[in-house]
Every structure is written in structure tokens, then in C-alpha cells.
Amino acid sequence: MGFRRGMDAKLFIGQSLLSDAVAPGDVTWDEQANVRDLTVNAESAEADVTTRANKGWRATIGTLKDGSLEFEMVWDPGDPGFTAIKNAWLNNEEIAMAAMDADIADNGSQGLVSNFTVTNFSRSEPLEEAITVSVTIKPSSFTDWYEVGAAP
């Protein structure tokens, strides 16, 4: 199959934080089924490296990468993943998460993994819908683009 469907992508919470000594493959990951539309924001800052040799064209290179995950969850205080994310936000604590394009155990799956900090935890209470929470998380330490089965 040459494509992946969004409904097959998965969000995971790690049972331990990542570090130089604890790689993504060493962590036990718990899938978070209580997730709606998720966006992986990935971009690079840029530096102008234009010189006179560019013949009048501006030249740019990428510098530091920046990323975040934005998603929505149904408000469910009985869901352990919901509670872990809420508590990470309330206590200003890191939480290890992985946004993968397939199951994290599947060879060839890939995505953004990091210890994240929760920067947005906004509750929405529409009259005719379930209560939901909009979540934004940003990398805080040990960030990587993880590819299962890729050579280190």
C-alpha cells in the first residue's frame, strides 16, 4: 500500500520518559484511542545565507526544527490517557508521547516522538455534542523522528 489513512495513525503515551539511555524502542507504549483529528506540526526556522554569488537570488537554509501536536479528545475523566495528559498539564510535567503513522510496533511506521509539555488543555462544551478538550503539546526534551526498523 502506497498510502496511509489518518484513521490508521496512532497516538501513544510512554510509560517512562525518553533519554539518551532510554530510546523509543525501549519504552512500553500505550495506544490512546480517545483521540480525534491529530495534526503533527513540523517546521524549521530559517537562516539567510545569501551572497553575491547567488546572482540576485536569496538563499535560505533550514536551522532549528520546531514541532507540536494538536488534537482533540472526548472529555473522559475515567480514561487513563486523558487523565495522564490532564495531570501533565496541571503539574507542568513532561509526558512521553509518540504520534505514529501506524502501530509503533510495525516495521516501517514513523512519526514524532518526544517528552512533551502540554501547553493547551481547553475544554469545549457544545450544546448538542460531547464535551471535548483541545490539546496542544510541544517537545520539551529528547525529540526525534522515529522510524521503526530504520538503522540507527
d(CA 93, CA 99): 19
- The DSSP symbol for 140 reads E
> Given a cut of 70, is residue 13 above it in pLDDT?
yes
Residue 24, CB-side half-sphere exposure with 13 Å CA sphere: 26
pTM for the model stands at: 0.90
Distance, CA of 77 to CA of 75 (rounded, Å): 6
Half-sphere exposure of 102 (CA within 13 A, CB side): 11
Whose CA is closest to 134, among 41, 31, 37?
A: 37
Domain boundaries, the chain: 6-147
What pLDDT is stored for residue 149 in this prediction? Answer: 86
At 84 the pLDDT is: 98
The residue to which cell 475515567 is assigned = 78
For the segment(s) 6-147, the CATH number from 3.40.50, 2.40.50, 3.30.1490, 2.30.110 is 2.30.110
**What is the average per-residue pLDDT within 137-149?**
95
pLDDT at 44: 94
pLDDT at 152 over 90: no
Average pLDDT for residues 63-89, to the nearest whole number?
97
Position 151 scores a pLDDT of 66
